[in-house]
A = this chain, B = another copy of it.
Amino acid sequence: MIYRRATPIEFNHCDPAGIVFYPRYFEMTNSVVENFFREVAGQSYAAMMEAGQGVPTARLETEFHAPSRLGEVLEWWLRVTRLGGSSVGFTVEAWCGASHRVTAKLVLVWVEAGGRPKPWPEAIRARIAAFQEADDA
């Protein structure tokens, strides 16, 4: 299944060349993943922080296919590509209409007190697995 978010490109995202500055794309990928955890996995980052939990990013591969410009709206797509015992792989893409802008492959790790990797809590893992397996209607 695909999780979707739209991000309007605002002044704040753009560099002196008038295109999105690449670190700002990662603020966007982080936001997409953050909203996925809240809406799909059932655990918000606020709840994680209070419980001493987190999902730091361990690995990231990104291709920037074409630049994005002020005033455009990016459509972000997130797919779960691999659900491990204490990690998850996402592929996140950004599109503007038919123009493919960014592909990012991320691996995140579930950590608990002290930042140590731990097995996923069962409820969170079940929700991510159900999302991964569901067909798009």
Residues of A within 8 A of B (CB): 10-12, 14-19, 21-24, 26-27, 30-31, 34, 44-47, 49, 54, 56-64, 67, 69-71, 115
How many Å lie between the Cα of A18 and that of B47 in the bound state? Answer: 12
Q: Inside 8 A of A71's CB, which chain B residues have their CB?
A: 44-47
Complex partner residue of A18 from B16, B31, B62, CB under 8 angstroms? B16
Q: Inside 8 A of A69's CB, which chain B residues have their CB?
A: 46
Cβ B24 vs Cβ A45 within 8 A? no
Cβ A70 vs Cβ B16 within 8 A? yes
Number of copies: 4
Complex partner residue of A60 from B21, B30, B58, B62, CB under 8 angstroms? B62
Main secondary structure on A side of the interface with B = mixed
Cβ A63 vs Cβ B59 within 8 A? yes
CB distance from A14 to the nearest CB of B (A): 5
Cβ B22 vs Cβ A11 within 8 A? no
CB distance from A53 to the nearest CB of B (A): 9
CB distance from A93 to the nearest CB of B (A): 15
**Smallest CB gap from A115: residue in B:** B67
CB distance from A3 to the nearest CB of B (A): 16
CB distance from A15 to the nearest CB of B (A): 6
**Smallest CB gap from A14: residue in B:** B16
